[in-house]
Amino acid sequence: MKVLIYDTTLRDGSQMEGVSFSVEDKLRIARRLDAFGIDYIEGGWPGAVPKDTEFFARLKAEPLQHARLAAFGMTRKAGETVEESALLRYLLEAETPVVTIVGKTHSRHVSETLRIPLDENLAMIRESVAYLKAHGKEVVFDGEHFFDGFKDDETYARACLSAAVEGGADWLCPCDTNGGALPHEIGETIAALVAAYPQTRIAMHPHNDGDCGTANALAAVRAGATQVQGTVNGFGERTGNANLVPVIANLRLKLGYDCLPEGALEELTALSHFVDEVANFSPNPKAAFVGRNAFTHKAGLHADAISKWPRAYDHIEPSAVGNQRRILVSEQAGSASIAQKANELGYALDKKSPVAKELLLTVTSMEHEGYSFEAAEASFELLLKKATGTYRRFFELVTFRVFIGKRACDTVPVTEATIKILVNGEEVNAVAEGDGPVNALDLALRKALEPAYPQLKDIALTDYKVRVVTTGEGTAAKVRTIVESTDHHGHMWATVGVSPNLIEASWQAIVDSIEYGLLKA
Ligand SMILES: CC(=O)SCCNC(=O)CCNC(=O)[C@H](O)C(C)(C)COP(=O)(O)OP(=O)(O)OC[C@H]1O[C@@H](n2cnc3c(N)ncnc32)[C@H](O)[C@@H]1OP(=O)(O)O
Ligand SMILES: CC(=O)C(=O)O
């Protein structure tokens, strides 16, 4: 069974707070969606939003390869003719094969927000659709507030769709504009429309205000809708539109619908992250199917079962959507978690070995002290190296001191770190000033180490996070620092330190970061 996917990330998605695509952004997303195999791409509202007008103009030179491009707009306004409607004219000027127009289908909205006679709204719908059809367009009629209208005044809601059918609409797309409908209501209503309009294809435009966007899209398809409208990552007005990511994955993998070209589904995770990146959002780790956590297993019992049957705790094979399975090491771990993580990192370790048991004890007691290894895998790998005899020490601390001073005339405090270490048995001293105590300490350590380890120049600290943790000893407050680092190959790692003293916690994380970087180099 075929279902067509209609993407409105560039139109309804742009209506979300925090989203402001440039024309370039829109073009990049459109091309990516096109390459991915989306059937319809709604690019925006030409004539209303200047960026959208430019977007359609620029696409004329290099049309999409696979998707049908849709321009979005609304019916003519009350009291004007279709020929007089500037908005309809702009839609034609966009020169897209598809035009989608929204019209009111809830009688109360017609009376209270448009403040026009109910018959005039029907004429606006019929005449606008007919006008666009006369210009050779494939026309999608978006029935605004349809499901609420259907509950309130079914006769009028149906009359609106009938007006669109009389105008020659190719698609009737009832919209759950306020996003509050439930799946059973959507299913029943769509089934009624499929029966009532056998000659016209039925689409569905769900919003997510009741957190039922995906469920409503699936309910509509199961009831006979053959087009689903939504956005990548659920961008959209208020709480967003139906999220096409789980909609597509569920349609394809759970319900067996044909909604993408062969092989495209494996690109779903990359597509989702791409759209977030263009929108300047961090990908949501909890996103179903494509989030970093979607196939990440923390509990020891889960990790044990997965080591015996990889699919044991996953609803699908992660690679089907381009994602991957991960095992975390934490206080929730068991020896199977330790062994699997070790294997993943390239160390042969049996879960029943004394080393695995010992390491588990170390990890769980350190986590009890406030360490957290799930966000600091490099520190865990150093523990693993120590446990398996593959650790190498690069230097030994003799002493460090950090000085912070501020005189009345200073705008910012002066920070200086002095360090004495042993490198290959020789004492090395260094002093450095920094933007703060941690920076000064990091710089002093590097200064002392760089003559012996010039490869350190390629290792940079990229992020530093501090969190207060109250653990173990009653109410004693400790801080946990996580340091993120990178090398010139783009390899990234994170390390952790914990202490009641911020400088000491930072020192531990910095030392781990440098040791790990040198071991990998
Ligand atoms: C459900 C949806 O998400 S639909 C998409 C909504 N998207 C947007 O609104 C983004 C783009 N919008 C815009 O650029 C502007 O709002 C425009 C260009 C469409 C209209 O701007 P303006 O002419 O300044 O009107 P304004 O936005 O203040 O008011 C909307 C007008 O359209 C009328 N209108 C609203 N819906 C419809 C409709 N379905 N059919 C006909 N007229 C309508 C309103 O009655 C109002 O008319 P009035 O000015 O005579 O009172
Ligand atoms: C058309 C549209 O975006 C809606 O009614 O939600």
Ligand at minimal distance from the CA of 241 is 2
For residue 273, being part of any structural domain is answered with yes
Choosing from 20, 42, 80, 114 the residue with most ligand 1 atoms within 8 A of its CB, the one to mutate for a pocket test is 114
Same domain, 358 and 484: no
Answer whether 468's CB lies under 8 Å from 477's CB.
Answer: yes
Residues 225-236: tens digit of each pLDDT: 999 999 999 999
Six-digit token pair at 353? 């070995």
Residues 142, 156: Cα–Cα separation, whole Å: 15
- The mean predicted confidence, pLDDT, of the chain is 96
For residue 377, being part of any structural domain is answered with no
The runs of H, that is alpha helices, within 179-233 are 183-196, 213-222
For residue 171, being part of any structural domain is answered with yes
The pLDDT of residue 470 is: 72
Strand ranges, E, within 182-292: 201-206, 227-230
Same domain, 195 and 302: no
Same domain, 158 and 238: yes
For residue 455, being part of any structural domain is answered with yes
Tell me the CA–centroid distance for residue 146 and ligand 1, in Å.
Answer: 17
Query: pTM here?
Result: 0.90
* 91-112 mean pLDDT: 98
For residue 290, being part of any structural domain is answered with no
Same domain, 324 and 452: no
Same domain, 336 and 407: no
Tell me the CA–centroid distance for residue 237 and ligand 2, in Å.
Answer: 9
The pLDDT of residue 474 is: 52
- Phi/psi for 81 (5° steps) reads -90, 165
Same domain, 130 and 168: yes
Residues 209-226: tens digit of each pLDDT: 999 999 999 999 999 999
Ligand 2 pocket residue status of 245, Cβ below 6 Å: no
Answer whether 360's CB lies under 8 Å from 333's CB.
Answer: yes
In what side-by-side order are the strands of the sheet with 492-499?
460-470, 477-486, 492-499
Query: Residue with the nearest Cα to atom 4 of ligand 2?
Result: 177
Tell me the CA–centroid distance for residue 135 and ligand 1, in Å.
Answer: 23
Residues 463, 495: Cα–Cα separation, whole Å: 11
Tell me which residue range forms the domain holding 316.
Answer: 296-369
Choosing from 75, 77, 209 the residue with most ligand 1 atoms within 8 A of its CB, the one to mutate for a pocket test is 77
For residue 364, being part of any structural domain is answered with yes
Strands 396-405 and 414-423: antiparallel
Ligand at minimal distance from the CA of 91 is 1
Ligand 2 pocket residue status of 177, Cβ below 6 Å: yes
Distances (CA, A) of 335 to 101, 366, 495: 59, 15, 21
Ligand at minimal distance from the CA of 213 is 2
Q: Residue 462 belongs to a domain with what CATH number?
A: 3.30.160.270
Domain count, the chain: 3
pLDDT over 70 (residue 471): no
Q: How crowded is the C-beta side of 344, counted as CA atoms within 13 Å?
A: 18
The pLDDT of residue 187 is: 98
**418 forms bridges with which residues in the sheet?**
401, 431
Same domain, 209 and 332: no
Q: Which of 251, 279, 307 is the last residue of a domain?
A: 279
Same domain, 184 and 302: no
Ligand at minimal distance from the CA of 176 is 2
Same domain, 314 and 272: no
Ligand 1 pocket residue status of 316, Cβ below 6 Å: no
Same domain, 245 and 147: yes
Closest atom of ligand 1 to 114 CA is 45
Nearest CA to 101 out of 30, 47, 40, 173 is that of 173
ipTM: 0.94
User: Residue 454: what residue type?
Assistant: P
Q: Residue 184 belongs to a domain with what CATH number?
A: 3.20.20.70
In degrees, rounded to 5, the angle at the alpha carbon of residue 509 between the alpha carbons of residues 507 and 512 is 105
Same domain, 65 and 134: yes
Six-digit token pair at 296? 């990440």
